Chain A
Amino acid sequence: MSWEIVIGLETHAQLSTASKMFSGGSTAFGAPPNTQANPVDIALPGVLPVANRGAVERAIRFGLAVGGEKVINRRSVFARKNYFYPDLPKGYQISQYELPIVKGGEIRITSPTRGDIKIRLTRAHLEEDAGKSLHEAFPDMTGIDLNRAGVPLLEIVSEPDLRSAEEAVAYAKTLHALVRWIDICDGNMQEGSFRCDANVSVRRPGGPLGTRSEIKNLNSFRFLERAIEFEAKRQIEILEDGGKIVQETRLYDPERDETRSMRTKEEAHDYRYFPDPDLLPLEVSEEWLERERERLPELPQAKRERYQREYGLSVYDTEVLTQSREIAEYFE
């Protein structure tokens, strides 16, 4: 009997603002450690967050591109996710929890087996990135670089609509092209501007969803594909041997091409989410939506349809021409 792989992706896209999500600190990549961490970023006593308007605008444009006005919450709420870690200066990450800025939407992809399909989005929410722990540079010590702390992220969560590693890659590539197309993220995967976590489970076709594992921090399409393939195979082997899958978070090791357990559900943190009392609810007016809509370029899907209609091009040709906005603009 065959197995069906079920995948949902959580993608972190770094929003292309000059300053951070809740401070005026610079987001430029590659500066010497801690030179781009201002008093808010390092969480000095008494400092307070102020939401970055440019980041909110980019999140709105993303929502408009994947679902139009109806998927944008006119009122969303920043919440605190509490946990201790040295690269998390406040002891909590400001994110969105119960009320994200984008709820719903869809991404159309071309699957090698199922053709043109729609992948539903659960939500997309604004949050800040953490800093980086440097374990190599100092013997017996850990260095902390807070340059990344507070960098604005849009976390885009898909429904478990993907059925193979190839589909997951097709989805990630389409999403990657979209965020660059609408100019909200530079998409630089080496610098961590676009990275995925994959939720993977397997089941008998038509059966109930299996227990999933979450694979963290996949920062290339190849790693995404390899990690899902390894993980699905691992789960199938366990199940076929009569074992059970434990819900857990796993890390992909590209050097050994395998995933390893980080923590199980029992070891999961209680993040004690609650609305951040230092920030007001985020209100999006109809006028603001309208302004962002005007700033949105013609989307790849619309362009493809127009090229077929106006120039009589083949589906393949229009896909090639809309791989990036630069190519499409040159063509036109």
Chain B
Amino acid sequence: MLNASLKDLSAALAQRKISSVALTQLFLGRVAELNGALNAFITVDAEKSLAQARAADERIAKAAAQPLTGIPVAHKDIFVTKGWLTTCGSKILSNFVGPYDAHVIERFNAAGAVILGKTNMDEFAMGSSSETSFYGPVKNPWGRECVPGGSSGGSAAAVAARMTPAATGTDTGGSIRQPAALSGLSGLKPTYGLVSRYGMIVFASSLDQGGPMAKSAEDLALLLNVMAGFDARDSTSIDHPAENYTRDLEKPLAGLRIGVPKEHFGAGLSADVGKAVEAALAQLEKLGARRVPVGLPSSGLSVPAYYVIAPAEASSNLSRFDGVRYGHRAKEYRDLADMYRRTRAEGFGAEVRRRILIGTYVLSHGYYDAYYLKAQRIRRLIANDFAEAFKRCDLVIGPTSPTVAFKIGAKAADPVQMYLNDIYTIPANLAGLPGMSIPCGFGKDNLPVGLHIVGNYFSEAKMLNLAHQYQKATNWHKREPAGIQP
């Protein structure tokens, strides 16, 4: 059961081989057993989860089940969840209980899925290692001295350690794909606007996108079927016709053109990751895909542009955390300005404060044109690069992250080294394109390597098709970390 696909779990529930209550108890037991070591969850509430499981069992009994009815799903603690503590990994929200459900939570609830718990994350999703959480760092199940990646590291570790069948994440610069790569699982960041941001605590409005994290591409397709959908409460939500993302999974890859950007195979890419990715490309060719060279010449500008745009938006988005209406407020203060200062200095961690300061600076009078407007122009260049590439290929493929998982603390003191982790994933966010990561082998210290797939707008079904065909031909996604067997 712990390793079962969502499809198999769904069938087992439908055939009454197991009840949702029993399945939920099984995974809650895994969480109880492993969370002390991995710190993947911030909040678990067995009573609430089991109440949902009982409701799911009734629904199954009435033959009113949908594919995910009765299946436990863990949610990144960035999604506001009614009646659940929703912290975003921050002290400033450490007392905040969700008064409403995010659109993503509503969708999973409507599908009859069970909320298994809220997962740990970098504070306000700012980080690539899940070390900046107020609730302490998440450990990588593949090597507990290593980070699981971030910011959706709690979700990644939870899926990798089989504490949950599936989880949600959010991705602003790689926060679904990089932890998926570093933790040996599959993760998808959809086209910007496909999944509503309503109730997803904002980091950078124009880049944030929610998406699924699971053991396989097939599971991702089932999860995306639930998550995707227009929401009038999010002005950037796109009224795209509903799709069944499983529809193309079984298509053969013959004739599919995969674009390989040389810029993603240069200096900075570690040899072990490069080797695994090359082997995956060869495997895809064996499956009938055709490899074409493409260029993403503006790629090198993406990290600097991202670290102007994302902090600029964040500096404004996080202004609402001021201690006035909810969340942490400093106990003692002299006057209003002092209340703001102390509340925010106490409530935010160092990385969040750093980004608020960067963002405030780049939006300041006299600097706006030189930084923010220039970064927006770079963003256009990067989108144009992809538009050119997609004239010559169907999907762009490369490494997700330059290295395998690194040691906890190794990059914590050097923000620029940390930021460079997302060098291959950031361009898709800047362009609003869908991107995903799937396991494609192992590198140094037997740690997982991720294969990065970027598609054109709304080509999720095509990306899932390639990933599923690859996963039918390989076993990387079925490998599980040692030391987590029951």
Contact of B236 among A45, A84, A89, A280 (CB under 8 A): A280
Q: Does B336 contact A (CB under 8 A)?
A: yes
Given contacts A45-B80, A46-B80, contact A82 B365 (CB under 8 A): no
Q: Does B333 contact A (CB under 8 A)?
A: no
B-side interface residues toward A, CB under 8 Å? Answer: 79-80, 86, 88, 93, 96, 99-100, 102, 197-202, 204-206, 232-236, 312-313, 315-316, 319-322, 324-326, 336, 340, 360, 363-365, 368, 372
Q: Are B80 and A91 in contact (CB under 8 A)?
A: no
Q: Are A45 and B205 in contact (CB under 8 A)?
A: no
B366 to chain A, nearest CB (A): 9
Q: Are A86 and B235 in contact (CB under 8 A)?
A: no
Which residues on the B side are within 8 Å of A279 (C-beta)?
235
Which residues on the B side are within 8 Å of A51 (C-beta)?
235
Q: Does A50 contact B (CB under 8 A)?
A: yes
Q: Are B313 and A277 in contact (CB under 8 A)?
A: yes
Q: Are A274 and B316 in contact (CB under 8 A)?
A: yes
Which residues on the B side are within 8 Å of A273 (C-beta)?
363, 368
Which residues on the A side are within 8 Å of B100 (C-beta)?
39, 44
Other A-B pairs beyond A50-B235, A89-B325, 6, CB < 8 Å = A80-B316, A82-B363, A91-B319, A270-B364, A272-B364, A274-B368
Q: With CB as the reference atom, state the residue of chain B lying closest to A268.
A: B365
A96 to chain B, nearest CB (A): 15
Contact of B235 among A49, A82, A91 (CB under 8 A): A49
List residues 229-276 of chain A with CB under 8 A from any CB of chain B: 270, 272-274, 276
Q: Are A84 and B320 in contact (CB under 8 A)?
A: no
Q: Does A48 contact B (CB under 8 A)?
A: yes
Q: With CB as the reference atom, state the residue of chain A lying closest to B88.
A: A45
Q: Does A144 contact B (CB under 8 A)?
A: yes
Q: Are B102 and A46 in contact (CB under 8 A)?
A: yes
Q: What is the interface of chain B mostly: helix, strand, loop, or mixed?
A: loop
B167 to chain A, nearest CB (A): 18
Which residues on the B side are within 8 Å of A50 (C-beta)?
232-235
Q: Does A92 contact B (CB under 8 A)?
A: yes
A277, B432: Cα distance in complex, Å: 13
B319 to chain A, nearest CB (A): 2
Q: Are A84 and B322 in contact (CB under 8 A)?
A: yes
Which residues on the A side are within 8 Å of B236 (C-beta)?
277-278, 280
Q: With CB as the reference atom, state the residue of chain A lying closest to B336.
A: A86
A45, B81: Cα distance in complex, Å: 11
Contact of A48 among B204, B234, B320 (CB under 8 A): B234
Q: Are B312 and A274 in contact (CB under 8 A)?
A: yes
Q: With CB as the reference atom, state the residue of chain A lying closest to B86.
A: A45
Given contacts A43-B325, A82-B316, contact A280 B235 (CB under 8 A): yes
Q: Are B99 and A39 in contact (CB under 8 A)?
A: yes
Q: Are A48 and B233 in contact (CB under 8 A)?
A: yes
Q: Are A47 and B199 in contact (CB under 8 A)?
A: yes
Q: Does A42 contact B (CB under 8 A)?
A: yes
A51, B236: Cα distance in complex, Å: 12
A276, B319: Cα distance in complex, Å: 14
A272, B311: Cα distance in complex, Å: 13
Q: List 9 A–B pairs whose Cβ atoms lie within 8 Å, in order of A's numbering.
A: A39-B100, A43-B325, A45-B80, A50-B234, A86-B324, A272-B360, A274-B363, A274-B372, A278-B205
